[in-house]
Every structure is written in structure tokens, then in C-alpha cells.
């Protein structure tokens, strides 16, 4: 997909962070923009920002929607067609949440919340929109589906099990849809950054009341740690530029860094090493290097020990060193 002007983009999580950066960039390219988010106040601010960035007021539509609610998501798709005359040509699913804590402390609610937003909502978008896109545009014009994934998709993490699993799955979905959509002239991309300047650190405040039973130590202070780390992340507009280039090149994986090939080879080597005893030993050195990188990232956060990424203190099966 190389032609964007006059086409429609539907962007989830479009009220802030990476999604807002994508909305601004593709609005600048002349697209009609739909941003979907669960926060009305953030949507209102985002619309104004997109217009100030250069979009015409009538070319921006904001829809408050819980993307895990299939009926509500379907209604958002209907609204898009009513306002702009058709389904999106470009579907970018960026909405996401995260929670940090030992994998063995994870509850059903932790998995249901994180994977509900980061994976199930993506599935909802694909099932709702792709048939509409095919009916409207196959054989007529190019289209694309994309998801904002994460570098965490390529390796699991001791304290990011639900998130890493969800991101690995959405990458796999893009591999599958890339193959499936070829006959229609459509493409698929997963963009996989490490750290984005966003407010995802505040996500716990949006956790539904029926999914509040977390096994992780969560507080205003642990959210402050995340906010401090994300404040140093990639500019959302820069990330959007990488994604645009990947879409134009019909690229399935977008690793948004100049040394992207080196990074991908490193992930591939690590996974390859997991398949043999010798490789497992080689990975010990890679694990030490990864821990050094984590320590460097944590230096961006306040140094007070607030129990970030640790378990609740009352979980009697968790190693005391991993509780707070």
C-alpha cells in the first residue's frame, strides 16, 4: 500500500501514545482518520491535536469503544461506514495494556485483562473489518492491516508473561494474514518497538472492576516507575514513520531501529539456541547481557524500591525475593 490520500484509516488506541502518532502522520498523508479508544476525555484532546497537526475537522472521527466488546466494536465499524462511506483501507490496532509481575503470581484476571486487550481485541478487529475490506476494495485498491506489537514478542519474560504471549500471538496473526490477504492485494504488518513515549504505565487505572484480582504488586509508585521509563521512549511520530515505510514496502515485521537486522538476528539466534543443550549454554551469556540492558533501563526510573514487577506479599507459593 503506497497511496494513502483520500483513504480511510481506523486506529485503535488512537487517543494517545503510538496510536495518536499514527493518527497524526496518516492524517498528514491525507487520510480520513477514525480513532477508537476507551477514554472520552483523551479522545476529545486527541481530535484537537490531530486537527492542529493539519487534518480537516470533518476528516477526523473519534469513537469511544471497549474493543473487547464485539457488539460495540461492530457498532464502531458501522459508524465508520456511515460517516466516511466505507470500511477502512488501513486498519491499525495499537490499543494495549501491560502489567508486570512474576509469571507464577499471575491470576486469571491478569491474563484475561492483558490478553483481552492485546490479543482478543486484535482478533475482534480482524474478524469484524477484514471481510468488509475485502468486499469493498479487493481488486480495486490496496489495503493493509497492521498491529502495534512489541520487541517483547520475540522472547518471553519472567515478569511479562501475559503481555509477551499476546504480542507473540499478534505477530503470528500478521504472518497468517500476510499470506491470506495476498490474493486480494492487501498487506499485513506488525511493528515491534522496545519502548514508546506513552502513558501505558497508567493502564492499571483502566483495568475493569471485574478483572481487578491481580497477583502483582501494583501501586501509584509502580506506575510511576513505568511512566519514568516510557518518558524516555521513542517519539510516537517517529514510530509511525517506521510503520508507514514498512506498509509501503509490504513488510511483515517492522523493527523500528537502524540496526534492525542485527536485532532480529539476535532474537533468531536466541530462539535457535533453545533447541539444544549447547545452545542453552550459549544463551547464558545472552541472558546476562539482557539483564544488563534491563538494569540500564531501570536507571531511568526512580531508585526507591517500590516493588516494581514483584508479586503481592500474601502469595505463599512465590519466592520471598520475588514478593513485595
As annotated, the active-site residues are 163
CA proximity to 146, closest of 62, 260, 26: 26
For 35, residues 6+ apart whose C-beta sits below 8 A from its C-beta are 11, 14, 15, 19, 20, 23, 43, 46, 47, 50, 60, 61, 62, 63
Would you state the cell numbers that stand for residue 159, as one nine-digit string?
Answer: 515478569
**Hey, CA dihedral for 28, 34, 38, 39, is it positive or negative?**
positive
Q: What is the tally of helices (H) and strands (E) in the chain?
A: 10, 7
Q: Residue 189 and residue 244: Cα distance in Å, rounded?
A: 10
Amino acid at each position: 500500500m503506497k497511496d494513502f490520500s483520500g483513504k480511510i484509516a481506523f486506529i485503535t488506541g488512537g487517543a494517545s501514545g503510538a496510536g495518536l502518532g499514527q493518527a497524526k502522520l496518516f492524517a498528514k498523508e491525507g487520510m480520513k482518520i477514525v480513532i477508537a479508544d476507551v477514554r472520552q476525555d483523551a479522545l476529545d484532546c486527541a481530535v484537537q491535536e490531530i486537527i492542529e497537526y493539519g487534518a480537516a475537522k470533518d476528516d477526523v472521527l473519534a469513537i469511544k469503544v471497549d474493543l473487547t466488546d464485539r457488539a460495540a466494536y461492530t457498532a464502531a465499524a458501522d459508524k465508520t461506514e456511515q460517516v466516511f462511506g466505507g470500511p477502512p483501507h488501513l486498519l491499525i490496532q495499537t490499543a494495549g495494556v501491560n502489567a508486570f509481575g512474576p509469571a507464577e503470581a499471575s491470576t486469571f484476571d491478569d491474563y484475561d485483562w492483558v490478553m483481552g486487550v492485546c490479543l482478543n481485541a486484535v482478533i475482534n478487529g480482524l474478524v469484524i473489518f477484514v471481510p468488509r475490506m475485502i468486499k469493498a476494495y479487493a481488486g480495486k485498491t490496496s489495503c493493509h492491516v497492521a498491529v502495534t506489537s512489541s520487541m517483547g514478542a520475540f522472547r518471553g519474560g519472567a515478569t511479562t508473561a501475559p503481555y509477551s504471549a499476546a504480542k507473540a500471538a499478534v505477530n503470528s496473526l500478521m504472518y497468517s494474514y500476510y499470506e491470506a490477504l495476498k490474493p486480494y492485494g492487501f498487506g499485513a504488518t506488525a511493528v515491534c518497538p522496545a519502548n514508546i513515549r506513552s502513558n501505558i504505565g497508567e493502564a492499571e487505572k483502566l483495568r475493569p472492576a471485574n478483572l481487578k484480582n491481580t497477583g502483582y504488586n501494583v501501586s501509584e509508585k509502580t506506575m510511576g516507575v513505568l511512566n519514568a521509563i516510557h518518558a524516555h521512549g521513542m517519539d510516537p511520530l517517529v514510530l509511525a514513520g517506521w510503520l508507514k515505510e514498512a506498509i509501503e514496502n509490504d513488510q511483515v515485521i517492522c523493527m523500528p531501529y537502524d540496526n534492525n537486522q542485527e536485532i532480529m538476528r539476535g532474537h533468531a539466534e536466541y530462539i535457535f539456541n533453545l533447541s539444544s543443550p549447547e545452545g542453552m549454554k550459549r544463551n547464558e551469556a545472552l541472558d546476562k547481557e539482557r539483564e544488563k540492558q534491563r538494569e540500564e533501563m531501570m536507571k531511568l526510573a526512580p531508585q526507591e524500591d517500590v516493588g516494581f514487577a514483584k508479586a503481592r506479599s500474601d502469595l505463599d507459593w512465590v519466592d520471598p525475593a520475588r514478593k513485595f
